[in-house]
């Protein structure tokens, strides 16, 4: 234990001596936790709409006004032809173009269903799909309301009513869904990057050779490298939970103790990955490239930005080998649904497996030589 205490004292002195690392470990991720949720907004706004009105009727002008006064849309162009709209879409100045045909108003007046052509700029798939769905809903609602206004007898035919309720996130607040995942991602990045550079730094400045000739055992050395960053990571996680509660009013429906306990286990796993990278790499540049390779995979396959169920089957299989996937799922399950330890037991077992594998490999591959 004395040897481990000496290593821990050395590591903490090294951490606190470098003020830039302290800022990188605490202030930077907390600042990112405040800013990133404001940018990662799944709600589609400012869909640029262009309209060509061949009808010039009261009904067509009413439809255009309805679109213009909907908060999700921004009417940017009254075009004279559909060709003009298509050119605007090609220039990426318009997201959705609408062509109102001749006889639109007269057809509605006679109770005849009308067809409105819509051209969608699908370069941004999410914005295109959601924007087109919003706009289709607005047009359909306008058509129904107009038909009922002009033909009151149709009102009796509307005998079906659908009521819905949103479970777990009743206000459909995207921040409640995204912020826990962002906190998990930031904690992962800090843990992996800092530990990946730790042993490599010892190699580059030559202190690793001095440690190798001491009677310190491999397990003590690895533990001494892991524990300080584990404590800093847990402090960062708790501060993050406080921050999202104060600034975003996100309070876990489930047990905060369960979140902290799971995070403690998860940190052992990702710190082990960082240590494994650090034992393999010979320079800090190599460690950064290897870490970046893994983090890019983690981000894309974590389920943070894209639902795992929407991925191809082969990608869904690969996500099972990414530890961050389990942490993000647990964060959302506990924060939004109030899941218990029984509900996340398989996630916990997976993370324990990652912790044993990564730390075991780091211990095995670290070669302590003596002179």
Q: Dig out the tokens for 288 from the structure.
A: 């950064």
pLDDT of the residue at 34: 77
pLDDT of the residue at 162: 41
Domain boundaries, the chain: 2-40+170-365, 47-155
Query: What strand order describes the sheet that includes 117-120?
Result: 73-79, 47-53, 96-100, 117-120
Contact 105, 55 (CB under 8 A): yes
Domain topology for 47-155: abc type-2 transporter like fold (3.40.1710)
Q: Return the residue matching tokens 């780091």.
A: 362
pLDDT of the residue at 43: 63
Question: pLDDT by residue (tens digit) across 224-277?
Answer: 888 888 998 999 999 999 999 999 899 999 999 999 999 999 999 999 999 999
Contacts of 120 (CB under 8 A, 6+ apart): 95, 96, 97, 128, 131, 132
Q: Dig out the tokens for 87 from the structure.
A: 């050119």
Q: What is the pTM of this model?
A: 0.74
**Residues with pLDDT less than 70, the chain:** 1-4, 6-7, 10-26, 28, 36, 38-44, 123-127, 147-148, 150-167, 172, 206-215, 368-371
Contact 356, 273 (CB under 8 A): no
pLDDT of the residue at 139: 84
pLDDT of the residue at 158: 41
Report the distance separating Cα 347 and Cα 294, nearest Å: 20
For β-strands 73-79 and 47-53, DSSP reports them as parallel
pLDDT of the residue at 140: 82
């Amino acid at each position: 234990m004395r040897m481990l205490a000496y290593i821990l004292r050395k590591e903490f002195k090294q951490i606190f001596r470098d003020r830039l690392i302290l800022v990188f470990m605490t202030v930077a991720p907390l600042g990112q936790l405040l800013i990133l949720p404001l940018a990662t907004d799944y709600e589609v706004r400012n869909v640029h709409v262009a309209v060509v009105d061949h009808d010039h009727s009261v009904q067509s002008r009413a439809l255009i006004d309805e679109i213009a006064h909907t908060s999700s849309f921004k009417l940017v162009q009254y075009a004279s032809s559909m060709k003009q709209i298509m050119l605007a879409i090609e220039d990426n100045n318009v997201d959705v173009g609408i062509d109102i045909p001749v006889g639109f108003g007269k057809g509605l007046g006679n109770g005849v269903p009308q067809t409105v052509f819509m051209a969608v700029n699908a370069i941004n798939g999410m914005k295109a799909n959601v924007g087109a769905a919003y706009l289709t809903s607005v047009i359909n609602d306008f058509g129904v309301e107009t038909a009922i206004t002009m033909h009151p007898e149709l009102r009796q035919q509307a005998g079906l009513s659908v009521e819905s309720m949103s479970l777990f996130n009743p206000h459909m607040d995207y921040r409640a869904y995204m912020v826990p995942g962002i906190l998990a991602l930031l904690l992962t990045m800090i843990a992996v990057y800092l530990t990946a550079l730790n042993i490599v730094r010892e190699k580059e400045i030559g202190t690793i050779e001095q440690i190798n000739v001491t009677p310190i055992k491999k397990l003590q050395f690895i533990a001494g490298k892991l524990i300080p960053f584990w404590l800093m990571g847990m402090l960062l996680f708790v501060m993050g939970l406080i921050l999202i509660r104060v600034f975003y009013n996100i309070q876990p429906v489930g047990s905060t103790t369960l979140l902290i306990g799971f995070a403690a286990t998860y940190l052992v796993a990702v710190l082990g990955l960082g240590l494994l990278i650090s034992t393999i790499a010979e320079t800090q540049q190599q460690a950064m490239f290897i870490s970046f390779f893994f983090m890019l995979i983690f981000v894309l396959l974590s389920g943070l930005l894209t639902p795992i169920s929407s991925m191809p089957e082969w990608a869904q299989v690969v996500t099972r080998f990414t530890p961050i996937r389990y942490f993000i799922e647990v964060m959302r399950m506990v924060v939004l649904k109030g899941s218990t330890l029984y509900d996340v037991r398989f996630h916990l077992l997976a993370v324990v497996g990652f912790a044993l594998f990564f730390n075991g490999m780091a211990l095995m591959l670290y070669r302590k030589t003596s002179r």
